[in-house]
């Protein structure tokens, strides 16, 4: 029986985590969950948003499934998500955006993957005040991290049967930092002649994705651009409630929905569990449970297409528990 670390999260997190656990069990996968805490709930209970035992558990199991965590805006502790990625060196953020039949969207058949560098850039958090009226953030780009993430993107493209990788940058303005990322990407691309490579300036990339997203397959970017563009891609397929994410390193991986914890809806049985379930699908694929992952994904797509036993944001009238129960029944 595989051990997996479980973080139920804050806000709506415990409800959608319960839905995902129920669905995984219905698919016939036996997992021993090692439950730990993080986020606002952990801060209240343990005095820190990331207890030591949480990091130790993920290091031990090598795999974690995490629901959303609450991070204060503008003050308070830094993002726990970012801190976990840094602590565990989960350098690759994998964000697939794929259309579900039955979901209102300007496009059909979108199948994009953003590979985002997870450990540096402005998210390194190196910032300080300059006097009382100015603040300065330092953008860190290294050759090692840039080459590592581009290698990951090309290896993923080969494994997933994708034919093109697009590197995103702003090297026309930031000639040293983004220039180094672009130089590194071009160097790595030479080692993968079987995969087409191109680069795009980030503002142009945003426009291209809105106008003709079908031209792109795998997009690799530094931390900030990857964060923004992956949310843009989510918008192309119906929103963050449908999109999962994976944070992958050499020794561990953490899977999560990419939306927030939405505290105002906590405990109301109205949260859409799709992104959490899709994160579980990615996790199952990572641990080799591909058959179960495929069955869950297909059943979820069929449930959403029918549009009845789904949450209100998907056009139905079901609650979180009822949607999970309907999906469980389909799997059984």
Strand locations in 162-297 (E): 164-169, 196-201, 218-221, 244-248, 253-257
Phi and psi for 135 in degrees, rounded to 5?
-130, 145
The domains spanning 1-92+243-332 and 105-237 adopt the same CATH topology:
yes
Residue 290 and residue 255 in contact, taking contact as beta carbons nearer than 8 Å = no
180-232 tens-digit pLDDT:
999 999 999 999 999 999 999 999 999 999 999 999 999 999 999 999 999 99
| pLDDT, position 1 | 85
Helix axes 202-211, 223-237, angle to 10 degrees: 10
Nearest to 233 by CA among 129, 123, 98: 98
| pLDDT, position 329 | 96
Burial-class residue 32 by CB neighbours within 10 Å (0-12, 13-18, 19+): exposed
Q: Which CATH superfamily is domain 1-92+243-332 in?
A: Isopropylmalate Dehydrogenase (3.40.718.10)
30-48 tens-digit pLDDT:
999 999 999 888 888 888 8
Range scoring the smallest mean pLDDT among 84-88, 307-311, 322-326: 84-88
| pLDDT, position 268 | 97
Residue 69's pLDDT band (cuts 50, 70, 90): very high
Average pLDDT, the chain: 95
CA distance 26 to 225: 38
Give 320 or 72, the one with higher predicted confidence: 320
Residue 87 and residue 50 in contact, taking contact as beta carbons nearer than 8 Å = yes
| pLDDT, position 83 | 86
Say if residue 58's pLDDT is above 60: yes
| pLDDT, position 194 | 97
Say if residue 94's pLDDT is above 80: yes
Provide the residue ranges of all domains of the chain, joining segments of one domain with +: 1-92+243-332, 105-237
What share of the chain has pLDDT > 70, as a percent?
98
Q: What is the mean pLDDT of residues 170-188?
A: 98
Which CATH number applies to 105-237: 3.50.50.60, 1.20.210.10, 3.60.70.12, 3.40.718.10?
3.40.718.10
Nearest to 26 by CA among 320, 315, 280, 312: 280
Sign of the CA dihedral with 295 first, then 296, 302, and 306 last: positive
- DSSP, collapsed to helix, strand or coil, labels residue 109 as coil
119-159 tens-digit pLDDT:
999 988 899 999 999 999 999 999 999 999 999 999 999 99
Active-site positions read: 123, 170, 203, 227
Residue 78's pLDDT band (cuts 50, 70, 90): low
Q: What is the mean pLDDT of residues 163-171?
A: 98
Q: What is the mean pLDDT of residues 46-55?
A: 91
Query: Which residues have a Cβ under 8 Å from the Cβ of 207 and sit 6 or more positions away?
Result: none
18-32 tens-digit pLDDT:
999 999 999 999 999
- H or E segment to which residue 127 belongs: strand 127-129
Q: Which two tokens stand for residue 224?
A: 């900030």
Residue 82's pLDDT band (cuts 50, 70, 90): confident
245-276 tens-digit pLDDT:
999 999 999 999 999 999 999 999 999 999 99
| pLDDT, position 39 | 87
Say if residue 76's pLDDT is above 80: no
Q: Which bin fits 126, alpha (ψ -120 to 50), beta or left (φ > 0)?
A: beta
């Amino acid at each position: 029986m595989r051990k997996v670390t479980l973080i139920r999260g804050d806000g709506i997190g415990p409800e959608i985590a319960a839905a995902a656990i129920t669905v995984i069990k219905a698919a016939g996968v036996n997992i021993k969950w090692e439950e730990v805490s993080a986020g606002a709930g952990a801060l209240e209970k343990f005095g820190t948003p990331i207890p030591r035992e949480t990091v130790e558990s993920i290091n031990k199991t090598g795999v974690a499934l995490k629901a959303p965590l609450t991070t204060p805006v503008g003050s308070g502790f830094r993002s726990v998500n970012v801190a976990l990625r840094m602590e565990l060196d989960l350098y690759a953020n994998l964000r697939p955006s794929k259309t579900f039949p039955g979901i209102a969207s300007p496009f059909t058949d979108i199948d994009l993957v953003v590979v985002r560098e997870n450990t540096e850039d402005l998210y390194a958090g190196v910032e300080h005040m300059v006097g009382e009226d100015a603040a300065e953030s330092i953008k860190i780009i290294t050759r090692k991290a840039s080459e590592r993430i581009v290698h990951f993107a090309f290896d993923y493209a080969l494994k997933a049967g994708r034919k093109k990788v697009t590197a995103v940058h702003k090297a026309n303005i930031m000639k040293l930092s983004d220039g180094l990322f672009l130089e590194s990407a071009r160097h790595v691309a030479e080692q993968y002649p079987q995969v087409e490579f191109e680069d795009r300036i980030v503002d142009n990339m945003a426009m291209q994705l809105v106008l003709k997203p079908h031209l792109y397959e795998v997009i690799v970017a530094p931390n900030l651009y990857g964060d923004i563009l992956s949310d843009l891609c989510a918008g192309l397929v119906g929103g963050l409630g449908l999109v999962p994410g994976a944070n992958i390193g050499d020794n561990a991986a953490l899977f999560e929905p990419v939306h927030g914890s939405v505290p105002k809806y906590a405990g109301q049985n109205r949260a859409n569990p799709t992104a959490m379930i899709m994160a579980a699908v990615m996790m199952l694929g990572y641990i080799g449970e591909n058959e179960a992952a495929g069955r869950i994904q297909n059943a979820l797509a069929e449930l959403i297409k029918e549009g009845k036993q789904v949450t209100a944001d998907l056009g139905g009238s079901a609650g979180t528990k009822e949607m999970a129960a309907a999906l469980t029944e389909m799997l059984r």
